[in-house]
Amino acid sequence: MNRKNETIGKLIQFEVCRQQISVQAFAEMICCTRTNVYNIFSRNSIDISLLQKICKVLNRNFFKEIAEDMNLADEVNETEEDRENRIALSNFHEYVPDCLKKLGKSTIIIYGEKEFDVPVPEYLLYSANISFTKGVTYREKLSEKYNDKIIHIDTIAEQGVEFEVITNRLKGLKTINIKIDIKSYEEWYKTLKLAFDYINRK
């Protein structure tokens, strides 16, 4: 396939075919219809949350490929914020598992699930009280739902690294939240190391 004529939809279609997954099976895997799958194959842009699901199902990091090949991104409709989020997510998916492995921690990252009408972080570390929010801090994500009597948020800044410590006053639980923004491998490693160090100090 000519790289210049490739779109994100064609790349997904190629991977589905390469893995010999039927359109019907793929539709079931991503919880949509066959018609929607054909629609995805024809797209030159895609919703980030849908692409996350597809990456997980196909075990392929399309975010990294998009970041490395701007022909795969819909540059006409992409805002600067969209571009930064795309690169930040690509770096997150590429760097964080390796950083966790290097720190001797579990590499299992799960998606955050919404409870009631309260915004939750996009990702959680399975074995630690660490969460990640995409492009914004948790305080910004909560915005008008923020209530200091129930949830208290402190910002910790050490050695050029910043993260939030969220205290749920009702449950007495503390969680560290890290904003997913553009970070190098070294910055992600340093951020995660300091987050785990902070947890161990408490």
Q: What is the DSSP string of the chain?
A: --GGG--HHHHHHHHHHHTT--HHHHHHHTT--HHHHHHHHT-S---HHHHHHHHHHHT--HHHHHHH-GGGS-TTT--HHHHHHHHHHHHHHHHHHHHHHHTT----EEE---BTTB---SEEETTSSEEEEESS-HHHHHGGG--TTTEEEEEEEETTEEEEEEEETTTTEEEEEEEE----HHHHHHHHHHHHHHHHH-
Q: Among candidates 68, 79, 150, which has minimal Cα distance to 115?
A: 150
The residue among 35, 54, 78 that closes a domain is 78
pLDDT tens-place string over residues 11-22: 899 899 888 898
Work out how many domains the chain is built from and give that number.
Answer: 2
**Predicted local distance difference test score (pLDDT) of residue 141:** 86
pLDDT tens-place string over residues 138-179: 888 887 666 677 888 999 998 889 999 998 888 888 899 999
* 112 and 191 assigned to the same domain: yes
* 98 and 194 assigned to the same domain: yes
pLDDT at residue 90 is higher than 90: no
- The β-bridge partners of 176 are 130, 165
Query: Is the residue at 84 inside a domain?
Result: no
pLDDT at residue 128 is higher than 80: yes
Q: Cα separation of 109 and 130, whole Å?
A: 10
Print burial letters for 66-91: b (CB count within 10 Å at least 16), e (below 16). bbeeeebbeeeeeeeeebebbbbbbb
**Predicted local distance difference test score (pLDDT) of residue 70:** 60
What is the residue range of 55's domain? 3-78
* 100 and 136 assigned to the same domain: yes
**Predicted local distance difference test score (pLDDT) of residue 4:** 46
For the entire predicted model, the pTM comes to 0.65
The residue among 17, 47, 78 that closes a domain is 78
* 74 and 101 assigned to the same domain: no
pLDDT tens-place string over residues 12-53: 998 998 888 988 899 889 888 877 888 888 787 787 888 888
Confidence band for 73, pLDDT divided at 50, 70 and 90:
low
- Per-residue pLDDT, averaged over 167-196, amounts to 91
pLDDT at residue 87 is higher than 50: yes
CA 67 to chain centroid, in Å, comes to 14
**Predicted local distance difference test score (pLDDT) of residue 77:** 60
Within 10 Å of residue 52's Cβ, how many Cβ atoms? Answer: 18
* 21 and 63 assigned to the same domain: yes
